[in-house]
Structure 1
Amino acid sequence: MRSRGAVLGAVALLTGIALAGCATPSPSAAPTSAPSASAPPSRDTGLAAAPQDPVPQAPDASTTARPVRVVIPSIGVDAPLVKLARDAAGVLEAPPSDELDKAGWYAKGTVPGQTGPAVIAGHVDWVDRIAVFHRLHDLEPGASVAVRMSDGSTVRFTVDRTRAVSKFRFPTESVYGPTPDAQLRLITCGGPWDDARNIYSENVIVYATRSA
């Protein structure tokens, strides 16, 4: 989510959902443009709904390496990763609001580099502070994303596309559904500010495929 202070700061990090500071309470995605500068200080905590009907591909038990850092040079991201889980409602939780410099990996899903869609999410901002995915909406096709693993290896991905979607029409299947190869999804908040719900109205979703 994005706050007025973050917008006025006019700079970026990640969009912890445009950003890295917002989350999506129900299936949806975020916009390819930054949240409006008129948005008031916020505490949007909805990230992105984890798979409901689509059954996620579970991590490969034979692999012990786990992602520990995500690096996206084109938008200035070099952030540690924490593990994310779903809450009681089945919604993917956001990283802690006091650790805006961190993104999170959905630990019940695919491990980056394995077949399937690995999911990493982060805040866009929090009240008057920008967060790790503050500039996620700026990612363009061809951009490089590197995920560093606990065993010292690095898994590299190339961005295919960035899209913005309503938080209330989240594309669960395209984000969490099975894929024939190793892919990555980056999620944060974006779109117009919804005063009634006190959240950003969209999620920004970046789709990437493993590169050689």
Structure 2
Amino acid sequence: MRERRAALALLGAVALAGCGGGPSGDWASSDRAPRAGWSPVPGQVAAPDAGRHAAGRAERHAEPVEVRIPALGVHSRLERLATGGGGELVPPRDPATAGWYAAGIRPGDAGPAVIAGHLDARTGPGVFAGLAGLRPGAAVLVKDARGRTSRFTVDAVRTYPKARFPTAEVYGPTPDPQLRLITCAGAFDRSRRHYLDNVVAYATMG
């Protein structure tokens, strides 16, 4: 019950806190809850419903430690991500490193696990700079702390305005293990210092 309450609370406050440095070199972000984004400031990527899907089930997989997306040349360790005081998903510290939303589903367990990464940074492209170009059928490989690798296949890649992020569609419960890869996209709003869109790659295990 405690996990479910936390999840429901987060559902109304999920936003990703900083998809990259953007042209300005600062954190890009979307809007705070209940909008979607990824940053403690205006400009984020929506985070999932913490623990909502985990309630009432036994976890089968260990924590994820590494993600590979061969089609994009991505091979990254995974940082544990948490939410900030405003409910936003705090981004990875290193723009070259992806992160896993640790209060949510573990990759390989039933439900949508979330992995997020930067679009760019002051120093150049971020780990998920090529996410918008990922194609259906591409493989995503996630290794857990026990050395077990789960293979996911990309079903779709969609771009959403942060102001109208479809939280329920992206983070709603699923009967099978799924994955959501998320970063920022679209035009960079220099006045607000954040990207206007989010890219979400949907993938299913198998």
TM-score by length of 2: 0.79
Name the residue aligned to 1:83.
Answer: 80
Distance 1:22 1:203 in 2: 11
Name the residue aligned to 1:58.
Answer: 54
CA pair 116-197 structure 1, distance change in 2 beyond 3 A: same
Unaligned runs of 5+ in 1: 7-20, 31-43
Alignment equivalent of 2:67, drawn from 67, 70, 85: 70
Distance 2:23 2:191 in 1: 17
CA pair 159-29 structure 1, distance change in 2 beyond 3 A: farther
For the 8 Å contact 1:72–1:78, the answer to whether it is kept is: yes
Unaligned runs of 5+ in 2: 1-19
For the 8 Å contact 2:31–2:37, the answer to whether it is kept is: no
Identity %: 45
Superposed CA deviations along residues 36-61 of structure 1, whole A, max 9, x for unmatched, are xxxxxxxx884323246x97212755
Superposed CA deviations along residues 60-104 of structure 1, whole A, max 9, x for unmatched, are 5544611000000001100000111111111111111xx122100
Q: C-alpha displacement at 1:5, in angstroms?
A: 9.2
CA pair 45-107 structure 1, distance change in 2 beyond 3 A: farther
SS of 2:77's partner is strand
Q: C-alpha displacement at 1:168, in angstroms?
A: 1.3
Superposed CA deviations along residues 85-134 of structure 1, whole A, max 9, x for unmatched, are 111111111111xx122100001100000000000000011124211001
Q: C-alpha displacement at 1:143, in angstroms?
A: 0.5
Q: C-alpha displacement at 1:201, in angstroms?
A: 0.5
Q: C-alpha displacement at 1:165, in angstroms?
A: 0.6
TM-score by length of 1: 0.77
Name the residue aligned to 2:134.
Answer: 139
Between the two structures, name the one with larger relative contact order (CA 8 Å, sep ≥ 6). Answer: 1
Alignment equivalent of 1:92, drawn from 89, 94, 101: 89
For the 8 Å contact 2:61–2:106, the answer to whether it is kept is: no
Q: Which runs of 4+ in 1 moved over 6 A?
A: none
Aligned length: 182
